[in-house]
Structure 1
Amino acid sequence: MIVRLQAAFRAAGCDPDRLTLDEIAGIDQLHLGGRAASRSLAALGELRPGERILDVGCGTGGASRLLAAEYGCTVVGVDITAAFVSAAERLSVATGLAEQNRFLCADAARIPLAGGAFDVIWCQHALMNMSHLPAVLAEWRRLLAPGGRVLLHEVVAGDNPEPLALPVPWARTAATSHLKRREALEVSLAAAGFGPVCVHDVTETALAWRQKHGRREAGDAPARRLPGPALIFGEEFVEMGRNLAGNLAAGRVRILEGVWRRTD
């Protein structure tokens, strides 16, 4: 993946060893809403400079870098995919943020870090890939300091029981999609010791964003010169995006952003 990324940035006229957050936005904010969604969640969670954040399911590290650069936080990103972790490390070096970010390849249910080491657990579009939710949430509670917060931006199952149109960015088959209904997710968070502070349904905003970007990806708007999500997801990405928009519009999935606090 790193070789592919370097070649793509060179082809776009960029130095792959010296990149800006604007230049890499297309391949490091892979969730619905991009950087705007990350900033919305950060504002909802009232992040403060110096806070210690664990970015669960960090992918290529985009949210980790944004939180370091714009909010003055120190961030550890964790992802189970080694290629994403390697790309995240390389991109943080290229953007001059390596001292504020570090990345770890690990299962979200078994993270080899000390308990109570974080003020915030940050997670965007990752739980729907995890089949073992109680174990993941127990690990979050262990890793959070007393009074710590969970900031979550997540895809959940909608009210429409029809099967998902597949593939989507998180799953190519139904067997690898682990969507939870909002009610079940909130029950699981409460059982794990997290109380809700503020929870919003942001489906309509997410759908509008996906439709806008879908037109661009399909060629109805001028193509971006900089590398985009297809570099990460492959040739199926346009179909994935189209299916995701369809699932959102049909009510098969919805998008939540929210803050929960560890109860003690």
Structure 2
Amino acid sequence: MPQLDAHYDALARQDGEPLTARLRAAFRAAGRDPERLSPDEVAGIDQLHLGGRRASRDLARRGAVAAGQRVLDVGCGTGGASRLLAHEFGAEALGVDITAAFVAVAEWLSQATGLADRARFLCADAARLPLPAASVDVVWCQHALMNMPDPATVLAEWRRLLVPGGRVLLHEVVAGDNPAPLSRPVPWAREVAHSHLIHRETLEAGLAEAGFVAREVDDVSAAALAWRRRQVEGKVEGKGKGKERSASAALPGPALIFGDDFAAMGRNLLDNLSDDRMRIIAGAWARA
């Protein structure tokens, strides 16, 4: 989708340097071999959602992800959740993203961290995936539905792909009760047309209509807001520039993906969460 490429791969469009090349150079500048990296070393660029790896681990435990399960990571970005599920939970992960630059980075990082055999990737539209029916045990999605203009079609595709009794695990941005417009840019959108936030009730109704039964759903906005505030203070992984960087400052962070807008995106996340213009939910649903 060209508009998403324009957002998520904006720096490449500006200076012509591919995202993978830019990140490889940054690892070399930090004294790291870009072909041999640890999960900790890549944490700053592979968990592009509120809560970082802790949120991913909590979601995996909530959904009882287990060794050998086939997990489809929808909107995988640079592949952090897929690698975490493979490395820490023993899952067989397939990450899918519509942004080709992210898929290229995901493939490289999985190879560099020794996880390429258990975390594979595909560039495709989440609404039309070239995968057989009943081929996955878990559909995993973190901060991706808000970029999808037709969630009903996506949810129907998830039901097609899941085995009977399979699970949907979501850690998602939804609209808050404050009707004021979002402060932008945010990590998923610079323009209004790229953001498709819906209210929690609308999302849950859509999941029910698509044939999913809620098992456990919580509003985790307070935890996400606290995490973001700690990030600004430089106390968690995945730091960006300036005050948001700490001992691992030399390692690449999200500013190398989002560019100069990253600082403003972080401030706007705080504002939007604090003012209830957006919320974060985490939950598990079962395919009926």
TM-score above 0.5, yes or no: yes
Matches within 5 A, 1:130-141: 130-141=148-159
**Native 8 Å contact 2:241 2:255 kept in 1:** no
Cross-structure match for 1:96: 114
| Residue 172 (structure 1) aligns with | 190
Q: Residue 43 of structure 1 aligns with which residue?
A: 61
Secondary structure of the corresponding residue to residue 179 of structure 1: coil
Aligned counterpart, 1:236? 261
What is aligned with 1:162?
Answer: 180
**Could you tell me which residue of structure 1 aligns to residue 76 of structure 2?**
58
| Among candidates 242, 245, 248, match of residue 219 of structure 1 | 242
Which residue of 2 is the match for residue 76 of structure 1? 94
| Cα distance per residue 1:160-183 (max 9 Å; x no partner) | 000000000000011110001000
User: Secondary structure at the residue paired with 1:255?
Assistant: strand
TM-superposed CA distance for 1:222, in Å, is 4.9
Residue 145 (1) aligns with residue 163 (2): yes
Moved over 2 A (4+): 214-223
Q: Retained in 2: the 8 A contact 1:128–1:155?
A: yes
Aligned counterparts of 2:162 and 2:177: Cα–Cα separation in 1: 32
CA RMSD of aligned residues (A): 1.0
CA distance in 2, matches of 1:26, 1:220: 15
After TM superposition, give the deviation of residue 233 of structure 1 in Å. Answer: 1.1
Counterpart residue identity of residue 190, structure 1: A
How far is the alpha carbon of 1:215 from its aligned partner? 3.4
Q: CA deviation at 1:220?
A: 3.5
Runs of at least 5 residues in structure 2 that lack an aligned partner in the other structure:
1-18, 235-239
Matched positions, count: 263
Partner Cα separation in structure 2 for residue 31 and residue 85 of structure 1: 16
Unaligned runs of 5+ in 1: none
The normalised TM-score by structure 1 is 0.98
SS of residue paired to 1:22: coil
Post-superposition CA distance 1:154-201 (Å, at most 9, x none): 000000000000000000011110001000000000000001000011
Q: Distance in 2 between matches of 1:147 and 1:175?
A: 35
Q: Distance in 1 between matches of 2:95 and 2:82?
A: 6
CA offset digits 1:47-66 (Å, max 9, x no partner): 11100000000000000000
- Equivalent residue, structure 1, for 2:85: 67
Question: Is 1:258 equivalent to 2:258 in the alignment?
Answer: no
Identity %: 64
Distance 1:30 1:194, change over 3 A: same
Give the structure-2-normalised TM-score: 0.90
Paired residue secondary structure (1:21):
coil
The separation in 1 between residues aligned to 2:171 and 2:147, in whole angstroms, is 13
- Give the alignment of 1:113-128 within 5 angstroms: 113-128=131-146
Matched-pair contact (CA < 8 Å) for 1:57–1:108: yes
